Amino acid sequence: MAVADGTANPEQRTVLVVDDDPDQRELVAVVLGGVGYRIEEAGSGAAAVEATRTHAPDLVTLDLGLPDMDGTEVCRALREFSDAYVIMLTGRADESDRLIGLDVGADDYMVKPFSPKELRARVAAVLRRARPAAERPVPAPMVAPTSVVDPARGLVVVPDRELALVEGVPLPLTGAEVLVLAALAREPGRAWERRDLVRAVWTEEFGESQFLLDVHVGNLRRKLRKAGVREEWIRSVGGTAYAFIPSRPTDAPD
């Protein structure tokens, strides 16, 4: 496990390399293993969580674009039980992505492609940081509102079970996405300012969490479209707010 003495001897440290691309995993493993770090590997989010429980790595290099879970969700899951340092390695260069990674508990963020020398230097620098147990990053707690049912759309949202269905078919949403959808759908037509929506979903505001909200809403829209929902249920209002558009009334028979 990560220790708080500020040392970074590679021969005493384990690094978990998480990436679904075998070539990328091998690259990072060779770069870090070559200077003495013990290397473990995982190719998915679920495997990363399991490997962290099994091997208790000192540091995790974490790709954002995993096949089963977004890297931010993996990082949030790791923070529930591990104090391992996390460096996100990703092709996403937007400032908002960097802020999101840091918001959920990452210790550093590197954009691909990167040089082996820079990677080794970043890893060594992160491992020199002291992290007393009392200062481990803690995810902002979330509010679990009651269920939402929208019969006109066939939408059912059950936040306590992190479940959302359309016409009885479960949507592949993360827990945070379910909570955002529930908050919006509970008050159709309301234009939620981003700050107010953050406060409605999380019990406390943290960091640049509005950036994180934007990503969750973007993922929600994408997943709803992929599920066959043609109407844009969640819309931007004035560039500063989001609204769940009310169901259109059923036309009366002639």
pLDDT at 249: 46
Kindly report the length of the chain. Answer: 254
pLDDT at 1: 45
Q: What is the pLDDT of residues 35-80, one digit of tens each?
A: 999 999 999 988 999 999 999 999 999 998 888 888 888 888 888 7
pLDDT for residue 119 is more than 70: yes
- Which two three-digit tokens encode residue 239? 């560039």
Q: Are strands 14-18 and 169-170 parallel, antiparallel or unpaired?
A: unpaired
Q: What is the DSSP string of 93-127?
A: --HHHHHHHHHTT-SEEEESS--HHHHHHHHHHHH
Q: What is the DSSP string of 156-182?
A: EEEGGGTEEEETTEEP---HHHHHHHH
pLDDT at 138: 46
Total-model pTM: 0.52
All residues at 6 or more sequence positions from 66 whose CB lies less than 8 Å from its CB, including other chains: 18, 19, 20, 44, 45, 48, 74
Residue at 247: amino acid letter: S
Q: Phi, psi (5° rounding) for residue 237?
A: -125, 110
pLDDT at 181: 92
Please, is 64 exposed, middle or buried when counting C-beta atoms within 10 Å of its C-beta (0-12, 13-18, 19+)?
Answer: buried
pLDDT for residue 130 is more than 80: no
Residues paired with residue 109 on neighbouring β-strands, in sequence order: 88
- Per-residue pLDDT band at 148 (split at 50, 70, 90): confident
